[in-house]
Amino acid sequence: MNVRRRVLGLLCFALCLVSLPAMAHKASDSYLVLEVAGSTVSGQWDIALRDIDFALGLDLDGNGEITWGEVRARHADIADWALGRISVQRGGLCTVRVADHLVDTHTDGAYAVLQLAGECPRAEGELILRYRLLFELDALHRGLLRLTVDGTSHSAVFAPDRAEQRFVAGQGSRLAQFGQYLVEGIWHIWIGFDHILFLLALLLPAVLVHQAGRWRGVARFRDALHEVLWVVTAFTVAHSITLSLAALGLVQLPSRLVESAIAASVVLAAANNLKPLVEGRRWLVAFAFGLIHGFGFASVLAELGLPQQSLVLSLLGFNLGVEVGQLAIVALFLPLAYGLRNTAFYRRGVFIGGSLATLAIALVWLIERALDLKLIGA
């Protein structure tokens, strides 16, 4: 009995980990592009308006919309806040200022664009960047950097445990680039809640068999594992194809269409659990919608930027990272689900209840993305 309670507790905890982020402040990225040529610094920094509002409170009238007037009125505050959370050093602290304020749109909304300019004490030597934007408010935040130092390109990602990074002109390790993109692939599958819900919707029935209008537990673990391997392999192959095509610029689709289709895939996968139309060949569903999810991963990779000098290796690292993150989810979920497959808690609470919850969340996403609405606060 104690073992079963522990298993129940672990499964509930795992489900909470998936559901809670969907209701919390949205995990965010900022995009920092810098060029350091000798002692001269130039570039731009794109920061989501929702993140600035979260930190400073831009929506003065409280109507849920941030206007250009509200942003313009806080230009000085935004510049002071942002510049206080980044430092550039080359032979000492570089003086960096905001030369202009603009607004741009990324796939996930509107961004303030800070045009940067500055000077460093020295024109050569190691460059040190320190970044701590939003880390005290949102541990999921990441700073995505594209840097050129005296003609040498670098890519990096700032995180709470990687807040300081060092760069030298002429030095760029391809292995380090591969490792960086591997880590980011893992990270972005773990914070890609729509991808996770789609995967879980396909995994929920893997430990069950639908016979005579009822669900019952599979007889052997290897039967469930066989089903999961088919689903995960099909999803992997499909999204790897479209991720590569899109990242290499061979195929492009409108982001709004892609995001809406991803939400629709979650709706259909969850609905199929409640009223099975596709049985025994869920791998076909995984493959078909995996093609769409690949374009979603590609949009993330586009924001990260692929370094041209190690393009294929970085693409491989990101794709492999997605698979590692995906397999980690499977490794956590499958043994727990198998252990509970014959209980009412799993069949009614986790399988039926989880599919209903997934369907409801995905329907909200679909309406928001297709109609460009905001039904749930960021």
Q: What is the pLDDT of residues 99-108, one digit of tens each?
A: 999 998 876 7
pLDDT in tens, 328-354: 999 999 999 999 999 999 999 999 999
> Is 40 a residue whose pLDDT tops 80?
yes
Q: Does this model's pTM top 0.85?
A: no
CA 351 – CA 210 distance, rounded (Å) = 12
Position 85 confidence tier, pLDDT thresholds 50, 70, 90? very high
Instruction: Tell me if 334 sits within 8 A of 198, measured CB to CB.
Output: no
What is the distance between the terminal CA atoms of the chain, rounded to a whole angstrom? 41
Half-sphere exposure (CA, 13 Å, Cβ side) for 69? Answer: 3
- Tokens standing for 297? 């991963």
pLDDT given for residue 277 in this prediction = 79
CA 301 – CA 144 distance, rounded (Å) = 11
CA 266 – CA 144 distance, rounded (Å) = 28
> Is 23 a residue whose pLDDT tops 60?
no
C-alpha distances out from residue 103 to 55, 68, 307, 377, Å: 18, 8, 25, 21
Dihedral angle at the C-alpha atoms of 149, 155, 160, 161, nearest 10 degrees?
Answer: -90
pLDDT in tens, 287-305: 999 999 998 888 777 766 6
